[in-house]
């Protein structure tokens, strides 16, 4: 980096605005001097700064959530739903500016940024039906003269800890809507690199009539975030991030007596059998592998191809991938934007170099990607490896970037066995025209979400977003009925009435 560039970067840092934290319905300035730069990945320019809130400031947010809980819990579910109905309309009305903000801070291409907001809206719509979702169970005459009713009740204060890659969908879709719809309050730790989108949606929540303290947002480092794992007033933790951190969050949270769901890394594989249509399959794979810059846990970074189709499939993938338009995220013609930071760009390019060293055949190299006029951006072009061996690290561990690996197998059984040996088990797909193999794959795959002729098998939010093995720690997944169970306790009430005395 030149002295001129360094000087401009320092000037940007001095002039960038500092985000505030949100506690008790008030936006507050942090007294912390520790800050993280928020960059526009498309240009590399610093656009804002995230403070690392102090322990006292996090305590303030937890106290606000605790104070707001009793009144919010006691509101009828239908009243809580009305707030979410109004929020849903506000998300619709503000789709364009919210998508622009998501693209600006995360580097998502415009279509992916719009989808980020739409997925937050989808989860909000599901939470709007909370009166039905909270309905319990009952049985008259469990014994003679005795009736039993099961109720679902709120838990208390939750903490949410989220990553950078979906600044709307994860904090304001997977976690917040169901959490507060069930009558809980929340302290959300927004991602330091992409906090502004969730903060903008928090303002919409306030406009929708959400009482102060029900939703609180902090930004902090690991040391301060420990409070969100151990504080006695926190009843549960919803985490999305790396497996290393997720395992620690789950272990420590459970040891502190809290319920925890930890959604972690993935290395999703797709098995392509020789009878699959090459062109349609290649298109689905390319969209799944390179959408959102490959920075999503449901990306498709590995294709397991039967030898009879592998050459044609690899060629079709490269043909499509090399024509993807890479550019600034907020240009609506861009098909793939930059990765989140220079640090992550270096990491992804390092993993590409590792793949070359391991002996994988590099068919398409995205390193050195330049976008005219945006030379400071963190760009990596689509990258495709072929002949990736079963033990190569490039094909077995999460890269979180636009890198696709092709592994070759002799048949269905070898392919499925290879896939199930991976330590992660979030998503898996099969491409085939044969119902027998499709059914066997569904039955025998280790993955929590399985697709047939689909690149990304994530279901609609009325079903849980599942994961197994090293991809998830906990008992109840986010969204779907699992999400309702995670954010509620059950209470059984048994009633006996004495017979009328004569």
* Active-site residue list: 297
| Dist. CA 383–CA 366, nearest whole Å | 5
| Dist. CA 111–CA 106, nearest whole Å | 13
Count of beta carbons in the 10 Å neighbourhood of residue 332: 12
**Cβ-Cβ contacts under 8 Å for 389 (sequence gap 6 or more):** 358, 359, 360, 395, 407
Element (H, E) at 218: strand 215-218
The two tokens of residue 64 are: 């606000």
The two tokens of residue 346 are: 């270096």
**Cβ-Cβ contacts under 8 Å for 451 (sequence gap 6 or more):** 270, 427, 428, 429, 430, 457
Q: Quick check: 483 and 127 in contact, CB under 8 A?
A: no
Q: Quick check: 407 and 390 in contact, CB under 8 A?
A: yes
Q: Quick check: 236 and 186 in contact, CB under 8 A?
A: no
**Which DSSP letter does residue 63 get?**
H
Q: Quick check: 189 and 225 in contact, CB under 8 A?
A: yes
Element (H, E) at 168: none
Show the 3-state SS of 241-293: CCHHHHHHHHHHHHHCCCEEEEECCCCCEEEECCCCCHHHHHHHHHHHHHHHH
Nearest to 420 by CA among 444, 400, 453: 444
């Amino acid at each position: 980096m030149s002295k001129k560039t360094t000087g401009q970067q320092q000037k940007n840092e001095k002039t960038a605005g500092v985000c505030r934290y949100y506690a008790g319905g008030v936006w507050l300035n942090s007294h912390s001097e520790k800050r993280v730069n928020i960059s526009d990945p498309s240009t590399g320019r610093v656009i804002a700064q995230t403070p690392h809130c102090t322990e006292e400031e996090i305590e303030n947010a937890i106290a606000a959530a605790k104070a707001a809980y009793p009144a919010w819990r006691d509101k009828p579910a239908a009243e809580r739903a009305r707030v979410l109905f109004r929020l849903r309309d506000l998300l619709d009305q503000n789709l364009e500016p919210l998508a622009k903000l998501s693209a600006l801070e995360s580097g998502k291409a415009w279509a992916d940024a719009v989808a980020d907001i739409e997925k937050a809206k989808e989860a909000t719509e599901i939470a709007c039906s909370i009166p039905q979702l909270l309905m319990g169970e009952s049985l008259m005459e469990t014994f003679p003269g005795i009736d039993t009713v099961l109720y679902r009740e709120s838990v208390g204060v939750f903490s949410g800890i989220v990553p950078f890659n979906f600044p709307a969908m994860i904090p304001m879709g997977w976690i917040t809507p169901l959490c507060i719809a069930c009558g809980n309050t929340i302290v959300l730790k927004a991602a330091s690199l992409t906090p502004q989108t969730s903060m903008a949606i928090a303002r919409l929540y306030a406009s929708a009539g959400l009482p102060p303290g029900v939703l609180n947002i902090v930004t902090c480092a690991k040391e301060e975030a420990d409070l969100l794992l151990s504080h006695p007033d926190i009843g549960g933790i919803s985490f999305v991030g790396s497996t290393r951190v997720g395992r620690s969050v789950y272990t420590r949270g459970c040891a502190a007596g809290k319920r925890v769901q930890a959604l972690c890394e993935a290395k999703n594989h797709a098995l392509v059998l020789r009878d699959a249509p090459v062109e349609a399959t290649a298109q689905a794979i390319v969209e799944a592998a390179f959408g959102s810059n490959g920075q999503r846990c449901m990306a498709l970074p590995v294709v397991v191809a039967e030898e009879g189709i592998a050459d044609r499939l690899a060629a079709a993938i490269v043909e499509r991938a090399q024509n993807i338009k890479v550019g600034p995220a907020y240009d609506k013609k861009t098909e793939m934007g930059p990765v989140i930071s220079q640090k992550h760009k270096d990491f992804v390019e390092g993993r590409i170099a590792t793949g070359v060293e391991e002996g994988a055949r590099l068919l398409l190299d995205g390193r050195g990607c330049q976008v005219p006029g945006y030379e400071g951006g963190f760009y990596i072009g689509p990258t495709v490896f072929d002949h990736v061996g079963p033990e190569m690290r490039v094909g077995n561990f999460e890269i979180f970037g636009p890198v696709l690996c092709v592994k070759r197998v002799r048949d269905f059984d070898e392919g499925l066995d290879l896939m199930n040996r991976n330590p992660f088990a979030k998503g898996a797909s099969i491409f085939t025209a044969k119902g027998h193999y499709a059914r066997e794959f569904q039955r025998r795959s280790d993955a929590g979400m399985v697709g047939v002729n689909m690149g990304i098998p994530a279901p609609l939010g009325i079903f849980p977003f599942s994961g197994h093995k090293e991809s998830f720690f906990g008992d109840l997944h986010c969204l779907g009925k699992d999400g309702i169970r995670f954010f509620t306790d059950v209470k059984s009430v048994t009633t006996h009435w004495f017979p009328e005395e004569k």
